[in-house]
Amino acid sequence: MGAHIMDLDALKDAFEENFQSRGELGASLVVWKDGEELLSLAGGWMERERHREWGEATMVPFYSATKGLAAATVLSLLSENGLGPDDLVSRVWPTFSNNSATFSELLSHQCGLAALDQAVGVFDYDSVIAALEAQEPNWPLGDGHGYHPRTYGFLLDQIALLLEGKKVGQVFRERIAEPLGLELWIGLPDEYHDRVATLYPGKMDKKELDSGFYKEFNQRGSLVQRAFTSPRGLQGVQEMNKPEAWRSGLPAMGGLGTARGLAKFYQAAIGAIPHFSEDVLDWMRTEVIAGDDQVLMAPTRFSCGFQMDPIGKDGRKVRHNYGKGDSAFGHPGAGGSHAFGDPESGLSFAYIMNQMDLSVLPGAKCTSLLDALRASQ
C-alpha cells in the first residue's frame, strides 16, 4: 500500500499547485491501477463566473483525446469482421483515395490526408468524404507520417459506416462505453448538457510563438495550417462551447466526458479490465511508425490510433507523456486534456480541465502531474 499513498501525496500536491500558480480554473484527475481506482481529484469551477463548482461528474470537451476512443472502436470492428491492420483499406472502402494503403497506415497518420484542397465544412459529412476520396496525398505513402488533426475522424467514421452501418460515436457507446459503464460520449445527448463545463482558450506566450510548430501554423497555406483547418468550422474555443459541437459526434475532436471515464477506458485498453480481444489489445500497444511528424513538427510515435513516447537513439524516451513503459500509449487533447494506459505498470491516468494551455502536446499543468506520477512509481 505504501506506493499507493505516495501516488496520492505527489499527485495531490501537483494538482493543488496547478490552481495556486498555473492558472487552473476547474479540473479532474483520476488514476487507476490493475483494475482499481487509486485516486480521484476534482476541484475549481465550471465557469469563470463561479456559478457551478467543478466535481467528479463534471464533463468537458476533450478534443483529440477522442481519437483513442475512436481508434479502439474501429480496431474492434476490424477484428469482429475478420480484418486486421495489415489489410487494405480498399477491401472495405473501394473508393478510398489510395488502393495500396493499409488500415495500419491510415490509423497511424501515414496516408497524407491531413489537409484537404477542397473547402468543405465540418458538418457536411458527404462533402468531406468526397473531398478525402479526391485528395492527392500531402506526401507519398511510405514517406513518413504527419498527424491528421481533423480529417482523422471522418476516415474512421466512414470505415465504421461501411462495416457496421453506424458512425463511430454510436458504435463506441454500444460496444465500449455502455458495457464498461463509462461516462464518455462521441456525440453527447441533450440530457447531459448541464454537466458540461465552459472551455477557455490558452494565452499565447513568446516561447510558443517561436516554436517550429507555431511558426508553421501561422504561415498562410502551410501544410500545418491547412491540416488544422481541414475541414472548416469549429475552429474557435467559443464554438466548442455550443451544444451543436457537443452533439456533433466528430471522432477526431468531438468527445466529452469525465476523467474517470477516460482513466477506466485505458484500464480496459491495457487489459487490466477485461473487455477487448487479445488482437485488439496487441494492436493498440504495438508501435507502427516513429520519426519526425510532418504536421506536429516534432518527433512522434504511433500505434494504430494512439500516441506513444518517442524513443531516442540511446533507447531512452525523448518525452514522458505516457508513463514509464515503452509500450504505454494514449492521446492528448488540445489545451491540455490527456489520458493514457501503461501495460507494463498497470497504470492508467486521465486529466481534464477547462482553462486550456496553448500547446499542441501536453502543457505545463499536465506535465507537472505526469512528472509527479512518474516520481511516485
Cis-peptide into 231, omega within 30 deg: yes
pLDDT tens, position by position, 323-347: 899 999 999 999 999 999 999 999 9
The dihedral through the CA atoms of 125, 129, 130, 135 has a sign that is positive
Number of domains into which the chain is organized: 1
The confidence score (pLDDT) of residue 156 equals 98
In this predicted structure, the answer to whether residue 213 has a pLDDT above a threshold of 90 is no
The confidence score (pLDDT) of residue 4 equals 45
Q: Write down the mean pLDDT value for the chain.
A: 94
Q: What is the mean pLDDT of residues 115-143?
A: 97
Nearest partner of 226 among 149, 309, 143, judged by Cα: 149
In this predicted structure, the answer to whether residue 184 has a pLDDT above a threshold of 80 is yes
Q: What is the CATH number of the domain that holds 24?
A: 3.40.710.10
Nearest partner of 269 among 239, 303, 293, judged by Cα: 303
Rounded to an integer, what distance in angstroms lies between the CA atom of residue 103 and that of residue 153? 14
C-alpha cell at position 149:
488533426
C-alpha cell at position 159:
470505415
Which residues 6+ apart lie within 8 Å of 283 measured at CB? Answer: 75, 84, 85, 303, 304
The confidence score (pLDDT) of residue 295 equals 95
**Of the listed ranges 6-10, 25-29, 35-39, 332-336, the one predicted with least confidence:** 6-10
Which residues 6+ apart lie within 8 Å of 189 measured at CB? Answer: none
Alpha-carbon distance values, 94 to 49, 90, 97, 281 (Å): 52, 4, 9, 27
DSSP string, 146-170: ---TTHHHHHHHHHHHHHHSS-HHH
DSSP string, 4-51: HHHHHHHHHHHHHHHHHHS---EEEEEEEETTEEEEEEEEEBSSTT--
The confidence score (pLDDT) of residue 241 equals 97
Binning pLDDT at 50, 70 and 90, where does residue 46 land?
very high
In this predicted structure, the answer to whether residue 261 has a pLDDT above a threshold of 90 is yes
The confidence score (pLDDT) of residue 203 equals 79
pTM, full prediction: 0.96
Which residues 6+ apart lie within 8 Å of 229 measured at CB? Answer: 150, 235
Rounded to an integer, what distance in angstroms lies between the CA atom of residue 63 and that of residue 297? 19
Alpha-carbon distance values, 27 to 242, 290, 308 (Å): 20, 32, 24
Which residues 6+ apart lie within 8 Å of 358 measured at CB? Answer: 201, 202, 203, 204, 205, 208, 335
Nearest partner of 54 among 43, 40, 69, 66, judged by Cα: 43
The confidence score (pLDDT) of residue 6 equals 44
Rounded to an integer, what distance in angstroms lies between the CA atom of residue 37 and that of residue 8? 11
pLDDT tens, position by position, 272-325: 999 999 999 999 999 999 999 999 999 999 999 999 999 999 999 999 999 899
Q: What is the mean pLDDT of residues 350-366?
A: 92
Give percent of the chain above pLDDT 70: 96
The confidence score (pLDDT) of residue 3 equals 43
Give, as one character, the DSSP assignment of residue 104: H
In this predicted structure, the answer to whether residue 208 has a pLDDT above a threshold of 70 is no
Please, what is the Cα angle at 8 between 7 and 9, to 5 degrees?
Answer: 95
Give percent of the chain above pLDDT 90: 88
Q: Which residues pair with 32 in a beta bridge?
A: 37, 348
Q: What is the mean pLDDT of residues 144-153?
A: 97
The confidence score (pLDDT) of residue 204 equals 67
Q: Domain limits at 101?
A: 2-376
Instruction: Compare 1 and 188 and report the one with higher pLDDT.
Output: 188
